[in-house]
Structure 1
Amino acid sequence: MPSDYAPHSAEAYDLIVAGGGAAGYFAAITFAEARPGSRIVILEKSREVLGKVRISGGGRCNVTHACFDPRALSAFYPRGSKQLLGPFHHWGPTDTMEWFESRGVPLKIESDGRVFPQSDSSQSIIDCLTVSARDAGVEVRKSTAVKSVSRLDDGDYEAALSEGTSLRTRALLLTLGGTRNRFGSDLAEQFGHRIQVAAPSLFTFKISDPRLADLQGLSVGHAGVKIAGLKLASSGPVLITHWGLSGPGILRISAWGARDLLERDYRFEVIVNWCGDLREETIIAGFEQKRIDSPRKKVVNDPMFKIPIRLWKRLVEAAAGDKDADSLHWPHLTKDTSRRLAAQLGACRFQVDGKSMNKDEFVTCGGVHLSDVNFKTMESRKADGLYFAGEILDIDGITGGFNFQAAWTTARIAGEAIADSMRLA
């Protein structure tokens, strides 16, 4: 179906997509394939498109997560879980996986549920999206930023570009990523949208503590994590880094506590159970069994609960004292020392003095207020013909492919809805 858009002084398009990321590409492809012959352009201010796709998952691209029940899936989103429930029924991980695989990108599900291309290269996903866009007739303009947007008397939008030209469009889709750069949120605010303040949603904890010094690279496969004074808890692998603590267990709790921890200026106490979900009495019972089974072994050389020996030694030293720890055998572990060691293992307290930048800290909470958007179409409730998808919305998921799935889902719905609206026009 050829475009029925009437010519204007400014170059005219059926759809302008502001933002050349995952959501922008997926929505543009969806629209173009639903309405062949339409004029669609993606505007990307950077020299390269799909930048986050390229670096995600350590360059492997964590496409989605193998959680196929919409209700269970929505529970992985600290913000947006309620609003995404309906959309996930419409387009979920099964649909995403089938879409990529049908276009020549074999995928694999890893043991923790994360989904990656079998190539272990994000380039496979980038190539799939760019080729699909090209084949569908989507125009892409790199190094082209939207400077401002105005609503015209006939309801169309006119976008002024960084190169000094302007474009007109019947529909405008904003996929400008998180609101840290403010431009996307400023545009949304211009059309009456409320904006939730941006805050990092995935970050690591900066900790300076002798118990962790020089242990970078060590990890515990299953640990429990709590924030003192807040009803925040998570579990999962915890990694010791040269700046503090990281790993999925930390990143998950940072996501759920993003706004609370921002309010505390990232200064708070974190409590780590290196033994997973074991309670103090169970840990102490383990010590009692060691008295029987290993009477000649030194405590410091006999780690328990799958804790790396170097970390175990630090925790024993913290409980017994540096001098006494080296000569302490299991039968000589006193009740007081036993309780102190159980506390170091099951409720180890660290003072957090800031957040640390790392490769995962490109997800933010914050963005367009969710009640201002119709999640059946992703259209603005404030301005007809204005749509949103991806991180510009106040939606974020924990680490593991969930943020990409939200991008694919909201983009798919937006692309379909824009095409439907033009069929009815």
Structure 2
Amino acid sequence: MDYDVLIVGGGAAGFFAAIHIAETKPKLKIAILEKGKEVLTKVKISGGGRCNVTHAEFVPNELAKYYPRGEKELKGPFHTFCSGDTIAFFEKRGVALKIEEDGRMFPTSDSSQTIIDCFLHEVNRLGVSVLTGHVVKRIERQDNWLVETSKGEFSCKKLLIASGSSPKVWRMIKDLGHSLVTPVPSLFTFNINDQRIKSLPGLSTMGSVKILGTHLNSEGPVLITHWGLSGPAILKLSAWGARDLNALDYKFKIQINWLYNQGLEEALEELKLVKANNGKKLVVNIKPFEIPKRLWFSLLNASGITDQMRWAEVSKQQLMTLASQLTQSVYDVDGKSTFKEEFVTAGGVDLKEVDFKTYQSKIQKDLYFAGEVLNIDAITGGFNFQNAWTGAFIAAKAIAD
């Protein structure tokens, strides 16, 4: 079958591009080819089923800083289509968004189905064909693009690949002359088996974290889980360190300052002061720092300070150990776990081979890329979707022109 535009991948970027192409040029014949039975599956599960559509960062150059891979390349595109444009797109179609305290943005319905329904309604209204169960088997350049799927052959003038991190499609892109950066996981939690945190799952507190032996560090909420550590501070490290941590086979040491912005010396002085003023009182009854009680008890225990001890009985060495546990706790990481269902990879089409004014391949004319198929990824918080919307919008504009 002949089309003007074919889009490989029925995800966020694919749908967003199809809608914009069809709106700009209603006469074009457009089809989305999706290998699965369902479309927009990642949209459905993202943000715990609420769909974290974007982030409330409206300055393009600031927004670009959230991308470990793609920061430099995205500055220009974000000046064309940024988070404010995403909000306007959805609001124009009756989908209101809200900003949460941490800047993440969700539909006010708190349901990803709202976003899916909006997209399905739009492609339907605009006459875009959505073809599911089409596994792409071959992509070839003749006079036009030829795409062979498990259900038939298609040809088109312009081809947009928005298939995310599909290894099969990546091989076809390679056969078209592109270089691909090998994928490694990004956005994962750390597996840690340590008595100090074993009994504390569900506890969240501010911390500053660094990976020993590297330049990687971050700060923010740290969440203790049944299998180790998660939360924004950890996920940030996993994104920025995606390649380094893969090279270490996910076995490394991290150091956490549970007092966040107080150093060892400061903590020790504070502890000495508390000891001098509260000699007769039980240590467990006085918590001089803003940390959760259960964590305080656990670190006391790790410092050899029992429930029955009074401050007067705490030795100099124990005070020193406690100050160190509070500000320089070291934990052995042994492996990783996927963060919820938000599986993100670092890797994809080499960015040097794409023109970011149009998202067109520099190697093949009339071939475009958008979304996670490119070697672009971000920390958690709506940034990966914003990359999809921006790339899809710019590619759509170029295709429609």
TM-score of Structure 1 vs Structure 2, range by shorter chain: over 0.9
Q: Deviations over 1:102-152 (max 9, x none)?
A: 110111011110011111111111111111111111110111111111111
Look up the match of 2:265: 281
Match of 2:367 among 383, 386, 389: 386
Match of 2:322 among 341, 350, 353: 341
Q: CA deviation at 1:295?
A: 4.1
C-alpha distance in structure 2 between counterparts of 1:161 and 1:337, whole Å = 68
Asked if 1 retains the 8 angstrom alpha-carbon contact of 2:91 and 2:97, the reply is yes
Structure 1's consecutive aligned runs of 4 or more residues displaced over 6 angstroms after TM superposition are: none
Q: CA deviation at 1:401?
A: 0.5
- Greater Cα offset, 253-262 or 303-312: 303-312
Q: CA deviation at 1:285?
A: 2.7
Q: What SS does the aligned partner of 1:158 have?
A: strand
1:161 aligns with 2:142: no
1:403 aligns with 2:384: yes
C-alpha distance in structure 2 between counterparts of 1:82 and 1:358, whole Å = 26
Look up the match of 2:307: 326
Look up the match of 2:43: 53
Match of 2:121 among 131, 140, 149: 131
Q: CA deviation at 1:391?
A: 0.3
- Greater Cα offset, 332-341 or 35-44: 332-341
C-alpha distance in structure 1 between counterparts of 2:242 and 2:210, whole Å = 14
Please show how residues 278-317 of structure 1 align to structure 2 within 5 Å: 278-291=262-275, 294-317=278-301
Q: Which amino acid aligns with 1:158?
A: L
Q: Which amino acid aligns with 2:106?
A: F
1:33 aligns with 2:23: yes
Look up the match of 1:261: 245
Q: Which amino acid aligns with 1:169?
A: C
C-alpha distance in structure 1 between counterparts of 2:170 and 2:231, whole Å = 30
1:176 aligns with 2:173: no
Q: CA deviation at 1:291?
A: 2.9
Q: What SS does the aligned partner of 2:390 have?
A: helix
Q: Which amino acid aligns with 2:242?
A: A
Look up the match of 1:186: 171
Q: Deviations over 1:273-298 (max 9, x none)?
A: 11112211222232234235544432
Q: Which amino acid aligns with 2:74?
A: L
Q: What SS does the aligned partner of 1:111 have?
A: coil
C-alpha distance in structure 2 between counterparts of 1:360 and 1:293, whole Å = 50
Asked if 1 retains the 8 angstrom alpha-carbon contact of 2:45 and 2:341, the reply is no
1:199 aligns with 2:187: no
C-alpha distance in structure 2 between counterparts of 1:167 and 1:34, whole Å = 23
Q: What SS does the aligned partner of 1:75 have?
A: helix
User: Identity over aligned residues, as a percent?
Assistant: 50
C-alpha distance in structure 2 between counterparts of 1:52 and 1:252, whole Å = 20
Length-normalised TM-score, structure 2 = 0.97
Look up the match of 2:358: 377
Look up the match of 1:101: 91
Q: Which amino acid aligns with 2:322?
A: L
1:79 aligns with 2:69: yes
C-alpha distance in structure 2 between counterparts of 1:304 and 1:131, whole Å = 57
Asked if 2 retains the 8 angstrom alpha-carbon contact of 1:274 and 1:345, the reply is yes
1:148 aligns with 2:132: no
Asked if 2 retains the 8 angstrom alpha-carbon contact of 1:202 and 1:251, the reply is yes
C-alpha distance in structure 1 between counterparts of 2:288 and 2:37, whole Å = 52
C-alpha distance in structure 2 between counterparts of 1:264 and 1:81, whole Å = 24
Q: Which amino acid aligns with 2:263?
A: R
The size of the alignment, in residue pairs, is 401
Q: What SS does the aligned partner of 2:157 have?
A: strand
Q: What SS does the aligned partner of 1:325 have?
A: coil
C-alpha distance in structure 2 between counterparts of 1:196 and 1:335, whole Å = 53
Q: What SS does the aligned partner of 1:225 have?
A: strand
Q: What SS does the aligned partner of 1:272 have?
A: strand
Q: What SS does the aligned partner of 1:41 have?
A: strand
Q: What SS does the aligned partner of 2:197 have?
A: coil
C-alpha distance in structure 2 between counterparts of 1:365 and 1:285, whole Å = 44
C-alpha distance in structure 1 between counterparts of 2:19 and 2:286, whole Å = 58
Q: Deviations over 1:267-322 (max 9, x none)?
A: 00011111112211222232234235544432234334332222211111111x2x
Q: Deviations over 1:221-259 (max 9, x none)?
A: x11110000000011111111111111110000000000
Asked if 2 retains the 8 angstrom alpha-carbon contact of 1:46 and 1:143, the reply is yes
C-alpha distance in structure 2 between counterparts of 1:297 and 1:192, whole Å = 73
C-alpha distance in structure 2 between counterparts of 1:387 and 1:129, whole Å = 21
Q: What SS does the aligned partner of 2:4 have?
A: strand
Q: Which amino acid aligns with 1:189?
A: K
Q: Which amino acid aligns with 1:283?
A: A
Match of 2:198 among 183, 196, 213: 213
Q: What SS does the aligned partner of 2:182 have?
A: strand
Unaligned runs of 5+ in 1: 1-10, 421-425
C-alpha distance in structure 1 between counterparts of 2:312 and 2:364, whole Å = 74
C-alpha distance in structure 1 between counterparts of 2:32 and 2:234, whole Å = 36
C-alpha distance in structure 1 between counterparts of 2:288 and 2:81, whole Å = 45
C-alpha distance in structure 2 between counterparts of 1:98 and 1:116, whole Å = 13
C-alpha distance in structure 1 between counterparts of 2:383 and 2:243, whole Å = 19
Q: Deviations over 1:75-103 (max 9, x none)?
A: 01000000000000000000001110111
Q: Deviations over 1:320-364 (max 9, x none)?
A: x2xx42222234433322221111111110001101133154111
Look up the match of 1:6: none
Length-normalised TM-score, structure 1 = 0.92
